[in-house]
Amino acid sequence: MSDLLADVDAFCRELRPIEELCYLERRHNEQLVPLARKYNVLGMPVPVEYGGRGADAVIYARSLARIGREGTGVRTFFSGHTSIGQYPILRFGTAEQKKKYLPSSVRGERIMAFGLTEPDAGSNPLEMTSTYRRDGNRFLLSGVKYLISNGSIADTVIVFAYPAEANGPDRRISAFIVDTAGDTLQSEDLPAKLGMVTANTGMFEMTDHPVPLENMLGREGDGFRVAMQSLVSGRMSVAAGCLGVIEDCLVEVLEYCHTRHQHGKPIGRHQLVQEHVAAIEMARATTALWIEQAAAAKQASEESPADAALATAADLQTAQAKLFAANAAWDTADRSVQVFGGRGWSNLYRVGRHLQDVRVCRIYEGTDEILKLKIATALLGKDFAAFR
Ligand SMILES: Cc1cc2nc3c(=O)[nH]c(=O)nc-3n(C[C@H](O)[C@H](O)[C@H](O)COP(=O)(O)OP(=O)(O)OC[C@H]3O[C@@H](n4cnc5c(N)ncnc54)[C@H](O)[C@@H]3O)c2cc1C
């Protein structure tokens, strides 16, 4: 095991009892960041020169799979902070932006998030209404970002907006590194959700929120590309986390099959229960293959960023891995609850918590439907594009 995977494992073991208690009490897990800092896992793919662990895409995916066993909420924190928070700066940031934002976020002094979605712009981010305008040596951003992981605890968010005045071909989205401090940005928690009760999902409204000129991320008008590239990283993280959910469900199911007796024998001796065990194992094995393959494709693309064919392969394979893994994890959690019977349908057991939490993986970072359209279009050709 690499040093990073050993540290991730130790982090997960120490986190587990705290996370379980927070889940039962339905409260945000305040210990996650200090513990993650203790094990130096707040910047797994961030280069060592910025304080991170320098993990490649394959090791990072394995780390997220391990974290996913602790719950989709825990893994989602890392997706928001690292996969779509730090990653866009790593990929598109200037040397100054990297120096300012990466070390402090690796130390946990700065929590990161990614603000693309708006109340009226979800599957189609091009329908966003957030705007920016230049005001002397700064930009002023206005608009609402909705359903954002870490959205009301983040110190810094990657935000996307249109120019306020431009029309026609000049009206293209730009990306910004936005510090949330100040009364021109108001955020709030969104607690009325079906699961991930220990993780933060929030929204925020910007009203002429000042952002220094040097905080534009990438070139002006290049924000859609920044967003789409970041979603490749985000989808990979969701897929890997779903593998962890499946692995954890399998451990729980095997244990319960041995210890729970009905009709005079362990329930694992009933053939219809064995059918669930076999299906979960097949989901685990197939999802693991998808994760390794997609992470390798992502790594190959990162090593040759100018290679369009590698970028297309990484984009498609991470989309396929995410679609497959999210549905496999959902089916696994459902089967696991079935094996646990009445006890499974509760917050008291890990399988019940996984069922509540993992459902969102079929929605965020590209819904099932959007990913299917993406996969079909890649095969059929651009003339068949269902959107854009
Ligand atoms: C817990 C949570 C965390 C999130 N974290 C983040 C985050 O950190 N950052 C961020 O920017 N966003 C985040 N999101 C937002 C998430 O990415 C969106 O919810 C998702 O993209 C879907 O958008 P929507 O909810 O507006 O659904 P809609 O786009 O309104 O879609 C509704 C339904 O219509 C379908 N649909 C839409 N268009 C088409 C089409 N062309 N063809 C076929 N079907 C279609 C969808 O698949 C879906 O079934 C998060 C969401 C949740 C729930």
3-state secondary structure the chain: CCHHHHHHHHHHHHHHHHHHHHHHCCCCCCCHHHHHHHCCCCCCCCCHHHCCCCCCHHHHHHHHHHHHCCCHHHHHHHHHHHHHHHHHHHHHCCHHHHHHHHHHHHCCCCCEEEECCECCECCCHHHCCCEEEEECCEEEEEEEEEEEECCCCCCEEEEEEEECCCCHHHCCCEEEEEECCCCCEEEEECCCCCCCCCCCEEEEEEEEEEEEHHHEECCCCCHHHHHHHHHHHHHHHHHHHHHHHHHHHHHHHHHHHHHCEECCEEHHHCHHHHHHHHHHHHHHHHHHHHHHHHHHHHHHHHHCCCCHHHHHHHHHHHHHHHHHHHHHHHHHHHHHHHHHHHHHCCCCCHHHHHHHHHHHHHCCCCCHHHHHHHHHHHHHCHHHCCCC
Burial (CB count within 10 angstroms: exposed 0-12, middle 13-18, buried 19+), residue 285? exposed
Task: Give distance in angstroms: CA of 124 to centre of ligand 1.
Answer: 8
CA distance 122 to 315: 19
pLDDT at 99: 98
In whole numbers, what is the pLDDT of the chain averaged over residues? Answer: 97
Please choose, from the candidates 333, 370, 382, the residue with its C-alpha nearest in 3D space to the C-alpha of residue 231. Answer: 370
37-65 pLDDT tens trace: 999 999 999 999 999 999 999 999 999 99
Position in ligand 1 atom list of the atom nearest CA 125:
21
Position in ligand 1 atom list of the atom nearest CA 387:
41
* Active-site position among 19, 252, 302, 365: 365
Residue 365 catalytic? yes
CA distance 11 to 3: 12
Report, in angstroms and rounded to the nearest whole number, the Rg of the chain calculated over CA atoms.
Answer: 21
Ligand 1 contacts CB of residue 176 (under 6 A): no
pLDDT at 388: 55
Task: Give distance in angstroms: CA of 239 to centre of ligand 1.
Answer: 16
Task: Give distance in angstroms: CA of 366 to centre of ligand 1.
Answer: 6
CA distance 3 to 332: 30
Pocket test for ligand 1, best of 357, 363, 373, 387 (most atoms within 8 A of CB): 363
Ligand 1 contacts CB of residue 386 (under 6 A): yes
135-172 pLDDT tens trace: 999 999 999 999 999 999 999 999 999 999 888 888 99
248-266 pLDDT tens trace: 999 999 999 999 999 999 9
Q: What is the pTM of this model?
A: 0.97
Q: Which residues of the chain have pLDDT under 70?
A: 1, 387-388
Pocket test for ligand 1, best of 190, 364, 377 (most atoms within 8 A of CB): 364
Ligand 1 contacts CB of residue 123 (under 6 A): yes
Q: Contact 144/110 with Cβ under 8 angstroms?
A: no
Ligand 1 contacts CB of residue 200 (under 6 A): no
259-296 pLDDT tens trace: 999 999 999 999 999 999 999 999 999 999 999 999 99
